[in-house]
Amino acid sequence: MPQFFFSIKRHLLVLGLLALLVPWAGGCGDGQAPLSKAAYVKRANRICEETKEKTQQGFIAYARQNRVSESGSTLNAQASDFMAKVFTPTYEQQLDRLESLNGPSADREKAAKILAAMQSALKTSQQRPLEFIRGAPFFKRASTLAVAYGMTGCTA
C-alpha cells in the first residue's frame, strides 16, 4: 500500500508540473488565443498613449522638483537623472506590456522588429540623454515601423 501511495503522489506531482508548463509550451504567453491585428493594434496604441501621458506628466513633475532649465552646466546631469528616474522605467514598462500582448501569429516577426527598434532607441537615449531631451530622432525608426503596422499611438 505505501508504494502505491508514493506512485500516485509522483503522478500527481508530474501532472501538476505539466499543468504549470502547458501555457508556456505553445508560446502563447498566458494561454490566451492570439489577438486579431485590429485588437492588437488597438491595445498597443492604448499602451503607447498611456506611456506618453505618464512620461509627459513625469517630465513636468521632474522639471518642477529639480528646477530644470533649458541650458546650463547641470543640464546634462539632469537629463541623465530624468532618463534614469522617469523615462527609462516608464518606457520599459511599455515594452513589457507590448511584449505581453499575444499578437497575430502571422505578424509576430513584424511585432518583434517594432519592439527591437523601440529597445534600440531606448538604449541610445540612455547613452545620449541630453541629445534625447533636446529632440534627437532616436525613435524615428521605431515610429516608422509602428505607423506602417497601424500603431499610430506608438510614435515618438
Q: Residue 13: which pLDDT band, with cuts at 50, 70 and 90?
A: very low
Q: Residue 31: which pLDDT band, with cuts at 50, 70 and 90?
A: low
For residues 27-52, average pLDDT: 87
In order, the DSSP letters of the chain are: -HHHHHHHHHHHHHHHHHHHHHHHHTT-TTTPPPPPHHHHHHHHHHHHHHHHHHHHHHHHHHHHHHT--SSSTTHHHHHHHHIIIIIHHHHHHHHHHHHHS---GGGHHHHHHHHHHHHHHHHHHHHSHHHHHTT--TTHHHHHHHHHHT-GGG--
For residues 46-53, average pLDDT: 97
Is residue 64 over pLDDT 50?
Answer: yes
Encode pLDDT of 110-153 as tens digits. Answer: 999 999 999 999 999 999 999 998 899 999 999 999 999 999 99
Predicted pLDDT of residue 76: 86
